[in-house]
C-alpha cells in the first residue's frame, strides 16, 4: 500500500500562484511514478501532470503547460505542483496519484492504484 496526503490548497486570485504538496508513505517511493489530477464540480476527473520515478521525465495536460510544474524530492518522499498564472477554470479538487508506469498515469488513469483524498484549489476572478 501507498498512502498519499495532499496539502497546500486554498483560495487565490486569478493570476496568483500556489504550490501543492503530496507526502507519500508505505512502499518504496522511487518504485512509483507520480501524478496530479483534478476534478472540478460537476466535471470528470482530468489528468494534470506526471513525473517519472527519477524525475527526468514529465508530462502535462495542454491546459496547464507553461503554467504548472511538477517536481519530486525522493529523499523526502514528496511531490509538488507549482501552479502559476492561475485561472478561475483551474478551480478543482487536486489529487495526487502513484503508479509504477509513468505512461499509464496520463493514458490509463482508471488503472492507477493509489490516490490521495485531495486538496481544494479555488481561484477567484
Residue 27's pLDDT is: 83
Q: Give the DSSP per-residue string, 41-106.
A: TTS--EEEEEE-SSSS-EEE-TTTTTTEEEEEETTTTEEEEEE-S--GGG-EEEEEEEES-HHHHH
**For residues 8-14, average pLDDT:** 98
> What percent of the chain is modeled with pLDDT above 90?
90
Identify whether the C-beta of residue 35 lies closer than 8 Å to the C-beta of residue 112: yes
Please name which of 27, 119, 125, 10 lies closest in space to residue 48, comparing C-alpha atoms: 119
pLDDT in tens, 14-40: 999 999 999 999 889 999 999 999 999
Residue 119 has pLDDT above 90, yes or no: yes
pLDDT in tens, 95-108: 999 999 999 998 88
Residue 45's pLDDT is: 95
Please name which of 8, 36, 38, 15 lies closest in space to residue 86, comparing C-alpha atoms: 15
Mean pLDDT of the chain: 96
Q: How confident is the model at residue 54 (pLDDT cuts 50, 70, 90)?
A: very high
Q: Which residue has the cell 500500500?
A: 1
- CA angle (64 as vertex; 5, 121 as ends), nearest 5: 40
Please name which of 81, 112, 117 lies closest in space to residue 98, comparing C-alpha atoms: 112
Amino acid at each position: 500500500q501507498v498512502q498519499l496526503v495532499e496539502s497546500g490548497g486554498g483560495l487565490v486570485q486569478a493570476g496568483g500562484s500556489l504550490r501543492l504538496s503530496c507526502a507519500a508513505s508505505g512502499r518504496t517511493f522511487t518504485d512509483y511514478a507520480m501524478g496530479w489530477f483534478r476534478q472540478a464540480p460537476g466535471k470528470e476527473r482530468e489528468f494534470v501532470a506526471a513525473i517519472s520515478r527519477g524525475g527526468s521525465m514529465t508530462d502535462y495536460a495542454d491546459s496547464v503547460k507553461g503554467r504548472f510544474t511538477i517536481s519530486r524530492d525522493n529523499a523526502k518522499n514528496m511531490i509538488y505542483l507549482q501552479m502559476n498564472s492561475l485561472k478561475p477554470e483551474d478551480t478543482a479538487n487536486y489529487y495526487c496519484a502513484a503508479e509504477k508506469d509513468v505512461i499509464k498515469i496520463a493514458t490509463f488513469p482508471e488503472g492507477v492504484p493509489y490516490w490521495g483524498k485531495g486538496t481544494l484549489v479555488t481561484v477567484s476572478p
